[in-house]
Amino acid sequence: MNKPVVIVGGGPVGMALALALHQQGITSEIHDIRPRGAAAGDQRILALSHGSRQILTTLGVWSEIQATAITDIHVSQRGGAGRTKISAREQGVDALGHVASSSCIASALDHALSTANIAYVGDSRILEALPSASAITLSCSDGELEAPLVAYAEGRIGDGAEVVERDYGQHALICRLTPAAPHGGTAWERFTTHGPFALLPHEQDYSAVYTCSPEQAERLAGLSDADLLTHLQADFGQRVQFTRVQNRFIYPLGLRYRSQPIAERQVWLGNAAQTLHPVAGQGFNLALRDCMALAHALTGAADPGAAEVLARYAADRRFDRRGTIGITDSLIRVFSNDHPVLRHLRGAGLVALDLLPPLRSFLARRMMFGARAW
């Protein structure tokens, strides 16, 4: 079957999948509801694991991405004992991960698509998908097409899917914080009673993710810069001094994922398959691993959309996918409360991480490589 695999979504995940398929000799075609290049306007900041850097290098785009290295991660809890520090030097890598803007990543991937002459159809809305034994027929805003497989790589999970979800009762306040002294590549994960407070080094500043109740997020979003800076400084503590706050916005947090990321001649990746809490910065990293695994699963297949091919892909990804979802969910439920027993257990866990290098390395490698750590 010579028809191209159709990828719905022209953001970083969809473009990464197209490049991964291209490297395996598989033709694909991207369809995006937005004009081409719209993804380059996305100002979100993404945490890239060491494994994701390897993937983006394999795809030939890493050299075009302006990224800030994370050399150390400092983890602690506000108002409780215990802390630990994970370092790149201890793990034998030059960086535990990197931080880059989604716009920069998208631009690099789009340039690679152009170089590889991969088809990209902008302003194209998929209206209906009708799978059959031999192909899937897609009704689009600009016509109809037939493909062996459609990969949904963008957009929220539809309500009609078999979905597992959990509302954390939290919003994230995202902003840019300028430190008084150079950050030195250190990222911070500070657990508080209302949720994690993360600082990711990006360029000369920090990209901050402050988790709190929806009511508090709305109140903080309305504060003056000076008052917001005072609040964030008081909640974080004095380990890092902030001098400026910019570019604030808020969004709700929750867990939502498809119990099965495949169906007849269809597969879902990225936010179309799962939306995770940003506590460990694993959403985009998991999506990139899915892209590479799908490309390898389709390699050499006479019919890329065959049920046995997709079942093999889903089985291969089950361990990493469920593990990443489980770790992210557990971190929020264990660390985002002020129960005295859990507070002491959290402190003991952080002390154990600090005293036991093998345990610390295990966690670090899980964050860097996903299930490949094992």
Same structural domain for residues 220 and 329?
no
Predicted local distance difference test score (pLDDT) of residue 192: 78
Domain span at residue 134 reads: 5-70+96-163+256-373
Q: What average pLDDT does this structure show over 33-51?
A: 89
Q: Name the domain boundary from 235, 254, 273.
A: 254
Same structural domain for residues 344 and 261?
yes
Q: Are strands 28-31 and 5-8 parallel, antiparallel or unpaired?
A: parallel
pLDDT at 52 over 50: yes
Task: Name the band, by pLDDT with cuts 50, 70 and 90, for residue 141.
Answer: confident
Predicted local distance difference test score (pLDDT) of residue 359: 47
Same structural domain for residues 61 and 113?
yes
Same structural domain for residues 130 and 39?
yes
Q: What average pLDDT does this structure show over 73-84?
A: 70
The pair of three-digit structure tokens given for residue 32, joined into one six-digit string: 């995006």
What are 282-318's pLDDT values in tens digits? Answer: 889 999 999 999 999 999 999 999 999 999 999 999 9
Q: Would you say residue 270 lies in a domain?
A: yes
Same structural domain for residues 229 and 361?
no
What is the C-alpha end-to-end distance of the chain, expressed in Å?
36
Report the number of distinct structural domains present in the chain.
2
Q: Would you say residue 75 lies in a domain?
A: no
Q: What average pLDDT does this structure show over 248-273?
A: 90
What are 261-291's pLDDT values in tens digits? Answer: 999 999 999 889 988 876 666 889 999 999 9
> What distance in Å separates the CA atoms of residue 307 and residue 312, rounded to the nearest whole number?
9
The backbone region for 126, taken as left when phi is positive above 0, alpha when psi lies in -120 to 50, beta otherwise, is beta
pLDDT at 361 over 90: no
Same structural domain for residues 20 and 133?
yes
Q: Name the domain boundary from 225, 254, 283.
A: 254
Same structural domain for residues 170 and 159?
no
Predicted local distance difference test score (pLDDT) of residue 86: 81
pLDDT at 161 over 80: no
Q: Would you say residue 80 lies in a domain?
A: no
How far apart, in Å, are the Cα atoms of 193 and each of 72, 254, 337, 338, 342? 24, 17, 5, 5, 11
CATH for 39: 3.50.50.60
pLDDT at 145 over 50: yes
Same structural domain for residues 120 and 22?
yes
pLDDT at 370 over 80: no
CATH for 173: 3.30.9.10
φ, ψ at 154 (rounded to 5°)? -160, 155
Q: Name the domain boundary from 254, 283, 298.
A: 254
CB atoms within 10 A of CB 90: 14
CB atoms within 10 A of CB 157: 20
Same structural domain for residues 204 and 353?
no
Q: Would you say residue 79 lies in a domain?
A: no
Q: Would you say residue 87 lies in a domain?
A: no
Same structural domain for residues 114 and 100?
yes
Same structural domain for residues 250 and 310?
no
Predicted local distance difference test score (pLDDT) of residue 355: 47
Q: Would you say residue 77 lies in a domain?
A: no
Predicted local distance difference test score (pLDDT) of residue 337: 54
Same structural domain for residues 305 and 329?
yes
Let me know: does 58 contact 73? Beta carbons within 8 Å: no
Predicted local distance difference test score (pLDDT) of residue 371: 45
Q: What average pLDDT does this structure show over 134-154?
A: 92
Q: For 76, which DSSP code?
A: E
- Of 270, 207, 187, nearest to 7 (Cα)? 270
